[in-house]
């Protein structure tokens, strides 16, 4: 079993839809959880950064962490064509240890 599992998609939704992206993980030592957005041929861009369980909201983005289930989610409200990208979840055990990434989910938002 991989440390971090993420459905690669592709996921296609109409503009304005609510998008739900998810990752599961096996190592209960992970405490820091991140979501990155990566456009084609570009480096990952940090979207959300959370510590331990709970929710965090930033504009149209909401990140949820459920450590008891080893499950994290990213919700995108009112999705836009510009949200079309690959979304990578990442996590680490401490604030200074390297990240472990999911494979990424390719999202297409259709106008």
Partner 1 sequence: GAVVSQHPSRVICKSGTSVKIECRSLDFQATTMFWYRQFPKQSLMLMATSNEGSKATYEQGVEKDKFLINHASLTLSTLTVTSAHPEDSSFYICSARAGQGGNSPLHFGNGTRLTVT
Window 47-76: contact mask with partner 1 (x via CB under 8 A): --x-x-------------------------
User: Does 99 sit near partner 1 (CB under 8 A)?
Assistant: yes
Residue with the two structure tokens 């959300």: 48
Q: How far is the CB of 82 from partner 1 (least distance, A)?
A: 18
**End-to-end Cα distance, the chain:** 37
Give the range of 44-52, 56-64, 66-74, 77-85 binding partner 1 by CB under 8 A: 44-52
Distance of CA 107 to the CA centre of its chain: 11
The CB-of-31 to partner 1 minimum distance in angstroms stands at 8
Binds partner 1 (CB under 8 A): choice among 13, 17, 31, 61 = 31
32 in contact with partner 1 (CB under 8 A):
yes
Could you list the beta-strand ranges (E) of the chain: 4-6, 11-14, 19-25, 32-38, 45-51, 54-58, 61-66, 71-76, 85-92, 100-101, 105-110
Q: If 0-12 CB within 10 Å is exposed, 13-18 middle and 19+ buried, where does residue 59 land? A: exposed
Q: Which residues lie near partner 1 (CB under 8 A)?
A: 6, 8, 31-32, 34, 36, 41-46, 49, 51, 88, 90, 94-96, 98-99, 101-104
């Amino acid at each position: 079993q991989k440390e971090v599992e993420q459905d690669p998609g592709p996921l296609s939704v109409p503009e304005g839809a609510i998008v739900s992206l998810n990752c599961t993980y096996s190592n209960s030592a992970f405490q820091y959880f991140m979501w990155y957005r990566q456009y084609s041929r570009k480096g990952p861009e940090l979207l959300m950064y959370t510590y331990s369980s709970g929710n965090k909201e930033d504009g149209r983005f909401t990140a949820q962490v459920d450590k008891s289930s080893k499950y994290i989610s990213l919700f995108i409200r009112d999705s836009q064509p510009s949200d079309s990208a690959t979304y990578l979840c990442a996590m680490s055990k401490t604030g200074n240890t390297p990240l472990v990434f999911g494979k990424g989910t390719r999202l297409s938002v259709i106008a």
